[in-house]
Structure 1
Amino acid sequence: MTAPHEDDVRNGNVKQPPQPQQERDLEGGGCCAGRRGRACRLAAVMVVVGAAVCACAAAVWLLLGPINLVQLVLVAAVAYLAASGGFHWLYVAALTAPRDIKALTRFICLKLQVRSHMKKNISIGEIFQQHAKKHPNKPCLLFEDEEWTFGQVEEYSNRVASVFASLGFKKGDAVAIFLENRPEFVCLWLGLSKLGVIAPLINFNLRQYPLVHSIKASNCTAVIFQRELAPAIKDIKESLPASVQLYQWHTGSASSDISAALGEKDLPQLLAAASPTPTTVVDKPAYDDPLLYIYTSGTTGLPKAAVISHARFEFIAAAISWLAGFKNSDRFYTPLPLYHTAGGVMTIGQALLYGCTVVIRKKFSASAYFSDVKKYKCTVGQYIGEMCRYILAVPPKQQDKDHTIRLIFGNGLRPQIWKEFVKRFNIPRVAEFYGATEGNANIVNIDNTVGAIGFVSRIIPSVYPLSIIKVDPATGEPIRNAKGLCIECGPGEPGVFVGKIIHNDPSRAFLGYVDKAASQKKVIHNVLRKGDSAFISGDILVADKWGNLFFKDRTGDTFRWKGENVSTTEVEAVISNVANYRDSVVYGVQVPGMEGRAGMVAILDEDSTLDLKAFAEGLKQSLPSYARPIFLRILKKVDMTGTYKLKKKDLQDEGFDPTNIKDRLYYLSSNGTYELLTEDVFSQINNGKIRF
């Protein structure tokens, strides 16, 4: 249920040895007396100085007149501000005030909405139900040639709740969803949420051990899988706990016999016999209860399940809505995977929270992006940086500007192509955002500043307490001062982005992961004052003098490629098995003209017996495409004198330039095999003739 005013606003720290009590009392009394004496002397001085200033002002008034007094005061004020640096602060404040006031107004609206729902202890399912009652026939989800109204989504989700309630599932259970993008994906987790059942959203590209890990990590009691993904489930079934129930979802009729022979239950058959009316639930889900587990790849290895509560879901979706300036009348287009926060929360949240229509796509297509936008009459489009580059690579057409898009939002749009993209496709506004699924350091570019991922106010930074702190470039660890506190970066100084943690505040809380030990690794203490704590993003940002923030790089053992976070630890573990347990080091390298970093692996192969063909095939079977190393370096020896991380950093700095590296280098060609990386190939990669 939305705040009453919402629609109107939206649219327009040597201990001393113990002392005898008497001595301590005497010391304490003397200390207090000393402090009182100093305070009295200071007050007396201030009175004298104040009287002198007033006397001088009166003299000027009487002798030279009030106008000269005003001029003298202004000159003194300007001189003081210039000497103290305050004049520059006023200058910056004056120019950034419009941006900051707009953001503050919208942030207040966001906080009012969240506070209203917190007081009512309302769930996402209940909010959506209100929209379904208000306009049951309005299109909610559009997919290919299918149109799902709010009423249909509500009925389908009610059937899901009815089925799983009858099967004994209850609040706190976890049922994983392993489906490709489609309307039923949303309906399934929405229906489960009405029972308080948590839905881990699993990346449908995962296979073998990473898939097993994802299911086990979230303590799933059941898995709903799509018929087309049955082979992936079949490969891991024996590795799953016997208690995990399997439910197959398919597009066939309820009477279809298309069993995957995994001992699974046919979900469509169960749904067909279920009631489309709301299920009576005794232990209803609360606003702060877990809603979803969304997996994120961090620096510690395999995917970790980040906890998304109903409150967190609302804050993520509502924050981008308010700050980016969405309207209830907007129609959204997202080709992003629904198992990720960007597509599955930010955009789907617009339908669930605000009654907007959302167009989803099974898979991103560069050539079809704007034709889809036109076909479905969308007004807001979503992207990740790689998508924008792919779209730009499509040959220009007269229809490039023939659309109704008024705003695009997303993350990763490179400054180098920003202007070209918005000019070619006539995009009025870009709302670039930054944030981590599990984090609280989330920002939005609200004023179209090219390349900026958001901002921190120079006038009122305490309203949304985020900071950039100095870190050791080799280890990523915070650098601290003599007091043991972190050091904030100044304008132009790169550092790690952190967000202050304030419990019981959805905008500042850090829920972390299902794995509590992993959660603690993302929290630092004694940041800017003793006793405080903050979420550390692991990303290097830099701020300009206006407070605009710009992304620089990632720290730790994770890099981003093809819109996905790639954990080097996870990839190294897979490669060790595929390469017969050879030593290997995985890292990300920059490729000219490409967003993020491409994976590169250095493998110790002293006797030159590594079978490259079998190696490539093994990686294809074990890793999703975005996690497979693009470059391969064959090492004949490993320097064991330094630490592992330092060696990795040295290899990363050397990159894949054959003119500077004596080891044999290979690249993953378009036919899926590793081929020799010569100077000519290196040149073609740099010139964009060979792309990945």
Structure 2
Amino acid sequence: MNLPHTLPNLPQPPVSREQTQALLDLRAEASGQIKPRDHYTLADRLEAQAARHGQRPFLIYGEQTLSYAEVDRQADQVAHAAFAAGLRAGDVCALMMENRPAFFSCWFGLVKLGVVVAFVNTQVTGKPLLHALDTTGAKALVVGEECLGNLQATEGLPALPMWLIDDAENRWTGALPAGVDRQFATAMAAAPDTPFPKAHRAGLEAQAPTLLIFTSGTTGLPKAARYSHMRWLSSGDVMEVTLNAGVDDVFYCCLPLYHGAAATSVTSTALRAGASIVVRRKFSVREFWSDVARHRISVFQYIGEICRYLLNRPAIAGEREHTLRCMLGAGLSSESWQRWVERFGPIQVFEGWGATEANTNLINVDNYLGACGRVPDWNRTNLRLVRFDVENDCHPRDANGFYQLCEVGEVGEAMGFIVDHPDIGGGRFEGYTCATATESKIRRNVLREGDAWWSSGDLLRQDADGYCYFVDRIGDTFRWKSENVSTQEVADALSDLPGLELINIYGVQVPQHEGRAGMAAVLMQAGQAFDPQALYRLTEARLPRYAAPMFVRVSAAADLTSTFKLRKVDLQRQGYCPNACPDPLFIRDERSQNYQPYSPQLLEQVGLPAFEGGQHG
């Protein structure tokens, strides 16, 4: 399936491969500053920047501003209190808290002690919460008062210390859940704010883990990915030169800190540059632009869906008069990208591709519409695109049994060669806390005997100029009528349906048919009704017939992860069975050139059998 990746009425910059490579070389040089065996940690950088930028604003939260020196002193208090409570270097402490300054002071304080911090999703309860504590091997849990309800709703919590951090915005009025201790906060407030002795983390190397960050978990329970001091620090070093960030920049942190983007890219870059971070507890469409104006925000980390929410807002006067100079993130479709710059002005967009645990990545440093990065010279990256057979769910092999590299225009899986050298940090795969999960992401003997590659599970494509485009997740792309259908490309093509808030495309099994039929779950904006004929016209204008969804369900709410990733598994299981699906269902009817309400008669007319419940897509 080949849909256009660029739109004709937004000119593309004539950037040479040499120009792009020069910028990528600067990133590569920056990424090598911290060596695996250096005795240098996140805490050392915090202390160095606090000494250098002491009175400069670091965290801005509502009416509160904390300087670099103040954040550092608060972190020292946490370190002293945690040490007195028994934590030691190398221990794991879980942290469950919403975005607020206390998140940073607790995180940084534990790091000063040499503790590995496991970020826990603030929306999980029950089995997922127990899984998070178990799989990280946490010896203690620091929990914000705003998350006490999660503990209250969870049976069988392990017998580990649970230290409560007050939240003035969310007071808990009932009895505390069993095992939760208020005394830690008292001890922390009474602890000295003198520098915590570095001797307690003196043996730590940069390659040691500092964070455990959970994957998004769109299917099943998430995995805890290891994140080393070296990798976290290098992220800041690399993005500082990429964004040309400096002390006058103001970063906007509106994505949850327990997820990789906000905790790694935003925080590490701002700290490296001596810049400020505006912290918002939760993303707000209504408050976004007022926050930008009020705090003169210059850098914004996005997820594609956030941009769509902002584009769905009615236009107001003066929208192009703002301080945003650049934005970085992933998942911004070509259509949304073009609409964004046309509406809000020529903001530099650093669209990228990667993953929390990835040992390779892409970033679009050229502002080239629709691309998630560029590879001017494949000999200077550990990334490769290898052919993948969607129909048979496998990688084709050559005569010698090795995988095959993609040609220009071919869709393939992105893989990263795993570098295993004691003095080289780049290209390492740090894996997960679970050895089995780590091994499941490694492919061996890929291009030659004895090599090892990280398997991303993502399908990408490159064009003749070396620009790369995200196509889909393996397992999301499906075959229908002997053609491959990319759920991501279909969603992008239909994303500007009038009144649409979200669209989720997936394939559902059809009894007695090969492959899967396309289905769209649409969520309309408040006050907007689904127009089936408008959707049909849009499919005719933008999609080949085989890629147009056969079924539509009009959802009352979107099934999203907390980082705005769409879940599909339950939707696939329900399929187009009216008994399993609580939403209004529609069937594509080419005779009437419309999507018509579901009926057994219409299903028979279009030549499809009834859905057999309980199937898995």
TM bucket by the smaller chain?
A: 0.7 to 0.9
Distance in structure 1 (CA, Å) of the matches to 2:416 and 2:68: 36
**Which stretch shows the higher mean deviation, 417-426 or 491-500?**
417-426
SS in 1 for 2:263: helix
Distance 1:239 1:626, change over 3 A: farther
SS in 2 for 1:489: coil
Distance in structure 2 (CA, Å) of the matches to 1:457 and 1:622: 35
Contact persistence 2:504–2:566 (CA under 8 A): no
Distance in structure 1 (CA, Å) of the matches to 2:54 and 2:196: 18
- Kindly provide the CA deviation profile for residues 266-301 of structure 1, in whole angstroms up to 9, marking residues without a partner as x: 232121111111222434332111101000146873
Residue 666 (structure 1) shift: 6.5
Contact persistence 2:218–2:567 (CA under 8 A): no
Q: Which residue of 2 aligns with 1:318?
A: 237
Q: Which residue of 2 aligns with 1:294?
A: 213
Distance in structure 2 (CA, Å) of the matches to 1:519 and 1:684: 46
SS in 1 for 2:318: helix
Distance 1:121 1:474, change over 3 A: farther
1:179 correspondence with 2:97: yes
Distance 1:495 1:480, change over 3 A: same
Distance 1:524 1:599, change over 3 A: same
Contact persistence 1:218–1:305 (CA under 8 A): yes
Q: Which residue of 1 aligns with 2:20?
A: 99
**RCO greater where, 1 or 2, for CA within 8 Å and sep 6 or more?**
2
Distance 1:627 1:534, change over 3 A: closer
- Kindly provide the CA deviation profile for residues 371-421 of structure 1, in whole angstroms up to 9, marking residues without a partner as x: 211111111112110011110111111121121111111111101121110
Matching residue's letter, 2:584:
L
Map 1:197-212; keep pairs closer than 5 Å.
197-212=115-130
Distance in structure 1 (CA, Å) of the matches to 2:376 and 2:413: 17
Q: Which residue of 1 aligns with 2:434?
A: 515
Map 1:234-253; keep pairs closer than 5 Å.
234-236=152-154, 238-242=155-159, 244-252=160-168
Distance in structure 2 (CA, Å) of the matches to 1:208 and 1:553: 31
Map 1:107-256; keep pairs closer than 5 Å.
107-111=28-32, 113-115=33-35, 118=36, 120-236=38-154, 238-242=155-159, 244-252=160-168
481, 486, 489: which one pairs with 2:398? 481
Q: Which residue of 1 aligns with 2:585?
A: 677
Q: Which residue of 1 aligns with 2:311?
A: 392
Distance in structure 1 (CA, Å) of the matches to 2:56 and 2:580: 54
Q: Which residue of 2 aligns with 1:355?
A: 274
Residue 680 (structure 1) shift: 10
Contact persistence 1:289–1:310 (CA under 8 A): yes
Q: Which residue of 2 aligns with 1:610?
A: none
Distance in structure 2 (CA, Å) of the matches to 1:666 and 1:256: 38
Distance in structure 2 (CA, Å) of the matches to 1:621 and 1:383: 19
Map 1:396-407; keep pairs closer than 5 Å.
396-407=315-326
Residue 125 (structure 1) shift: 0.6
Contact persistence 1:161–1:194 (CA under 8 A): yes
Structure 2 stretches lacking a partner, 5+ long? 1-13, 479-486, 496-500, 512-556, 598-617
Distance 1:419 1:252, change over 3 A: closer
Distance in structure 2 (CA, Å) of the matches to 1:167 and 1:103: 45
Matching residue's letter, 2:385:
I
Distance 1:511 1:684, change over 3 A: farther
Contact persistence 2:218–2:565 (CA under 8 A): no
Distance in structure 2 (CA, Å) of the matches to 1:452 and 1:442: 13
Q: Which residue of 1 aligns with 2:600?
A: none
Q: Which residue of 1 aligns with 2:544?
A: none
Distance 1:622 1:425, change over 3 A: closer
Distance 1:225 1:684, change over 3 A: farther
Contact persistence 1:331–1:377 (CA under 8 A): yes
Contact persistence 2:251–2:297 (CA under 8 A): yes
Q: Which residue of 2 aligns with 1:549?
A: 468
Max radius of gyration: which structure? Answer: 1
Contact persistence 2:303–2:564 (CA under 8 A): no
Distance in structure 2 (CA, Å) of the matches to 1:553 and 1:300: 15
Residue 328 (structure 1) shift: 4.0
Matching residue's letter, 1:358:
I
Residue 321 (structure 1) shift: 2.8
Distance in structure 2 (CA, Å) of the matches to 1:334 and 1:599: 31
Distance 1:519 1:96, change over 3 A: same
Distance in structure 2 (CA, Å) of the matches to 1:550 and 1:621: 25
Residue 631 (structure 1) shift: 9.9
Contact persistence 1:333–1:358 (CA under 8 A): yes
Distance in structure 1 (CA, Å) of the matches to 2:328 and 2:563: 26
Q: Which residue of 1 aligns with 2:521?
A: none
RMSD: 3.5
Distance 1:438 1:405, change over 3 A: same
- Percent identical residues: 30
Contact persistence 1:666–1:677 (CA under 8 A): no
Distance 1:432 1:464, change over 3 A: same
SS in 2 for 1:424: helix
Q: Which residue of 2 aligns with 1:6?
A: none
Distance in structure 1 (CA, Å) of the matches to 2:71 and 2:247: 18
TM-score, length basis structure 2: 0.76
Distance 1:200 1:223, change over 3 A: same
Distance in structure 1 (CA, Å) of the matches to 2:440 and 2:432: 10
Q: Which residue of 2 aligns with 1:8?
A: none
Distance in structure 2 (CA, Å) of the matches to 1:380 and 1:156: 26
Contact persistence 1:588–1:600 (CA under 8 A): no
Distance 1:598 1:200, change over 3 A: farther
SS in 1 for 2:153: helix
- Kindly provide the CA deviation profile for residues 326-345 of structure 1, in whole angstroms up to 9, marking residues without a partner as x: 33432111211111111111
291, 296, 302: which one pairs with 1:383? 302
1:441 correspondence with 2:360: yes
Contact persistence 1:598–1:629 (CA under 8 A): no
Distance in structure 1 (CA, Å) of the matches to 2:111 and 2:399: 49
Residue 683 (structure 1) shift: 4.7
Distance in structure 2 (CA, Å) of the matches to 1:625 and 1:295: 12
Q: Which residue of 2 aligns with 1:4?
A: none
Residue 529 (structure 1) shift: 2.0
Contact persistence 2:235–2:269 (CA under 8 A): no
Residue 601 (structure 1) shift: 8.8
**Which stretch shows the higher mean deviation, 461-470 or 279-288?**
279-288
TM-score, length basis structure 1: 0.68
- Kindly provide the CA deviation profile for residues 515-544 of structure 1, in whole angstroms up to 9, marking residues without a partner as x: 011001111112222211111110000001
Contact persistence 1:224–1:248 (CA under 8 A): yes
Distance 1:335 1:620, change over 3 A: closer
Contact persistence 1:315–1:507 (CA under 8 A): no
SS in 1 for 2:335: helix
Contact persistence 1:207–1:622 (CA under 8 A): no
SS in 1 for 2:45: helix
Q: Which residue of 2 aligns with 1:491?
A: 408
SS in 2 for 1:433: strand
